[in-house]
Amino acid sequence: MRVVAEKKFVGLKQPVRVAFGIIAGLDTIEVGIERDGVVGRGECCPMAIYGQTPESTLAEIAAIAPAIERGEIDRTALQSALPARAARNALDCAFWDLEAKTSGRSVWELAALDRPATVASDVTIGISSPAETYRIAADLDAPAMIKLKLGGEQDLDCLRAVRAARPDTPLFVDVNAGWTLAQLNELAPALAEAGVFMIEQPLPPGDDALLDGYSRVLPLCADESCHDRSDLARLRGRFDYINIKLDKAGGLTEALALAEAGREQGFRLMVGCMLATGLAMAPAYMVASLCEVVDLDAPLIVKLAAHAGVRHDGRLLHGFDPDLWG
């Protein structure tokens, strides 16, 4: 058994502005676990907002690699050997890929999931001017759903711009923890009037307790506030949806368990992703098969070459090529 990991830069077609800054590209970590000439691959995208860097993630992988290479840690043992974050995600997904390739069974069979040919996915519009927001929305080709990033200085004007361009398209907003409770109270009625169906992560995770007793005008979704199953108890009564991301959950294994537990506890399910390549989108697609809201539009945002094996046509995300993963 051998473990290899390397950093790769993923460029975006255009910089994306969100509440916490502007993203022009990201470093991802690709992991390979080789056994008897067969290589399983996984990818993660460490994010500074979660206290992780490419360097710290590579160090985590290097520290646990010898135990994996000695056969002391498999996918099951990995869940307790590393915390739920990017490093574990890349290794976990590599184990899934390796298991599929060595067993001759697909990851869908291993997970006992039905494989959909396509899933409807949103298209994201970043924070911009109202005029640019209108142009982007108008140029979209029959999107299944739009996610509008908010947290800027012209939130309502940008919302109105999207609705002017796309009056009937299902629409939700993502604040990336950029509001205060006062802003949520002020802006939520206007969002409801515009037909927004959900607000994603309105407050910083440390302010979740402020939602106790909050009279929700619209359903709320926990993104930065929800990483793995250990978060569910404190989210009950505060959020309606949970956004499952493999880098937060620490891999496909926990993401599938989180989806099951979340549904059992009454949460509605959403799947999201970091701005990574098709290698990261493939396992996220499996989670998407279980979710009501799918936010896997990275193939539209990152440069095309990074997404061989995964295709988003502006409305539907198509099933991944097993030659890529799984």
**Domain 118-318 CATH class label:** alpha beta
The third-level CATH classification (topology) of the domain covering 2-104 is Enolase-like; domain 1 (3.30.390)
Q: Is 145 a residue whose pLDDT tops 60?
A: yes
**pLDDT bracket for residue 310 (50, 70, 90):** confident
Of the chain, the end-to-end C-alpha distance in Å amounts to 19
86-103 helix and 252-264 helix, angle to the nearest 10 degrees: 100
pLDDT of amino acid 19: 64
Mean pLDDT of the region 67-79:
98
Joined together, the tokens standing for residue 178 give: 């950029």
pLDDT of 252-293, one tens digit each? Answer: 999 999 999 999 999 999 999 998 999 999 999 999 999 999
Q: Which is the catalytic residue, given 101, 147, 245, 248?
A: 245
Q: Shortest CA distance to 277 belongs to which of 109, 41, 51, 110?
A: 41
- Which phi and psi (to 5°) does residue 279 adopt? -65, -30
Region of poorest pLDDT, from 9-18, 25-34, 141-150, 183-192: 9-18
pLDDT of 224-254, one tens digit each? Answer: 999 999 999 999 999 999 999 999 999 999 9
Q: Is 305 a residue whose pLDDT tops 60?
A: no
**Whether this model's pTM surpasses 0.85:** yes
Q: Where are the domains of the chain?
A: 2-104, 118-318
Please indicate whether residue 13 is annotated as part of the active site. Answer: no
Give Cα 220 to chain centroid, integer Å.
Answer: 16
Query: H or E segment at 235?
Result: helix 232-235
Q: Is 308 a residue whose pLDDT tops 70?
A: no
Q: Which is the catalytic residue, given 101, 149, 248, 303?
A: 149
Q: Shortest CA distance to 111 belongs to which of 246, 254, 244?
A: 254
Query: H or E segment at 221?
Result: strand 220-222
Greater confidence, 306 or 17? 17
CA distances from 50 to 87, 88, 234, 245, 276 (A): 12, 14, 19, 13, 16
**pLDDT bracket for residue 306 (50, 70, 90):** low
Q: Is 166 a residue whose pLDDT tops 80?
A: yes
Please indicate whether residue 245 is annotated as part of the active site. Answer: yes
- Mean pLDDT, rounded, of the chain: 95
